[in-house]
Amino acid sequence: MKKKPEHAPSAYFNIVGNQLMVGDIPAGVLATQVGQTPFYAYDRSAITARVETLRARLPDEIGIHYAMKANPMPALVAHIATHVDGFDIASHGEMTVALDAGVDPAEISFAGPGKSDRELAAAVAAGITVNLESEGEARRIHEIGERLGIRPRVAVRVNPDFELKASGMKMAGGAKPFGVDAERVPALLEWIGERDLHFRGFHIFSGSQNLKPEALIEANNQTFDLAIRLAASAPSPVEWLNIGGGYGIPYFPGEKPLDLQPIADNLDARLPGVREALPEVEVVIELGRYLVGEAGVYLCEVIDKKVSRGKTFLVTNGGLHHHLAASGNFGQVIRKNYPVIHATNARGEPRETVSVVGPLCTPLDILADNVELPPAEPGDLIAVMQSGAYGFSASPHRFLSQPLPVEVLV
């Protein structure tokens, strides 16, 4: 019989006795300290370890940027700011948190379609680099720069003529709201050259949640080729090249952690040629979930245990209103389970097959469907792992008017 695929083991969380440990604190003790369930807990030492491991693997000259939309919790942002080389933001709200955390504006870039004039002006005033998503945005930022008497720092976000294969989310190639189509970039570069704009370089982000090194390598190579080709039309030397990221983490049964070595080897091989073609360039990658996703857990409490026609349900106080992604409603085509652990009876026997659901009156409110867990009773804690990215901030908190979760950094 074929063995059922399993979740990859957690990279950072251990079980001691019967308790899931969160940064050296047993889950049950942490819940008491936090004072409520549900809550998200992020482990700062796990984040540090992830950034440092990545840095040791990648070529030294690659800058590591944090894509803040993965997790904008201010304390986490302040922590990661001391470990990464820069930030990529996608709203004025994120800009405020990054600046509050002490991030150097020169190391922040601002992407995202539909930036308002107010957002563009704020970015220009702060001196951060704006990744232009359209010709219209270029015109508007130019006018704003003239009005403020500040020379805007701009990069062109390119919608490439290729896509990142095998990605959880494709964000480039074909018709997209993101970036300027590659074939239109030369004309925009000429326009920029005729204006008082500080041209910095290119932003080419092609996709997200990718676990296939060969797909990431192919996209990196195509990105370098495209950037070098476009640089021929640039008004000044390319000083900055953001090659995107897309590094995935294992969420579902059968998925394995990304093998970084071939990606790093390819970057090593390509960088000398890139430097020859673009002598002033600083190359950066931008990563969100890869830096923080595995460093977070979502903990909720069992409220009721019930059996319906032979199927056992653990009804918890947590659910899709706090953790949309784990419920399967954040871009999944076929619903699969995130890894879940009985956080306060982690090694209990005998295990039973249960479905973990939330308190919302909708069949979409599932945290884990038909999983084997140690015996659970009301008052016990259930942990959803791999929850450090796209959890709290990517969930519809107001749905069904339930209480908010809290977030802690331990």
Ligand X SMILES: *Cc1c(COP(=O)(O)O)cnc(C)c1O
| Interacting residues toward ligand X by CB under 6 A | 67, 69-70, 88, 111, 205, 208-209, 245, 286-290, 389
Pairing verdict, β 62-67 and 282-287:
parallel
Smallest CA-to-CA distance from 316 within 342, 294, 290, 338 is with 342
User: Are 215 and 192 within 8 A, CB to CB?
Assistant: no
Question: What is the closest distance, in whole angstroms, from the C-beta atom of residue 112 to ligand X in the complex?
Answer: 7
Distance CA 235, CA 21 (A): 54
* Choice between 286 and 301, CB closer to ligand X: 286
Q: How far is the CB of 10 from ligand X (least distance, A)?
A: 19
Taking residue 329's Cβ as centre, other Cβ atoms within 10 Å add up to: 17
User: How far apart are CB 142 and ligand X at their closest, in Å?
Assistant: 22
* Closest by CA position to 89, among listed 74, 108, 73: 108
Provide the 10 A C-beta neighbour count for residue 223: 26
**And the tokens for 389?**
């990215």
Q: Which CB, 31 or 111, lies closer to ligand X?
A: 111
Q: Tokens 């908010």 map to which residue?
A: 404
- Evaluate whether 279 touches 237 at the Cβ level (below 8 Å): yes
Compute the least distance from the CB of residue 139 to ligand X, in Å. 22
Which is closer to ligand X, CB of 26 or CB of 72?
72
Strand partners, 289: none
Decide: 405 and 40 in contact? Cβ < 8 Å.
yes
Cβ nearer to ligand X, comparing 83 with 342: 83
**Token pair for 215:** 């797909």
Q: Which is nearer to ligand X, 131 or 344 (CB)?
A: 131
In the chain, the amino acid numbered 122 is A
Q: Considering the complex, what minimum distance in angstroms separates the CB of residue 189 from ligand X?
A: 20
Name the residue whose CB lies closest to ligand X: 288
At residue 285, what is the residue type?
A: I
Nearest by Cα to 202 from 164, 244, 141, 151: 244
CB of 67 to ligand X, least distance (A): 4
Nearer to ligand X, 209 or 223 (CB): 209
Q: Among 391, 342, 395, which residue's Cα sits nearest to residue 368?
A: 342
- Taking the complex as a whole, the smallest distance from the CB of residue 282 to ligand X amounts, in Å, to 17
Nearer to ligand X, 67 or 123 (CB): 67
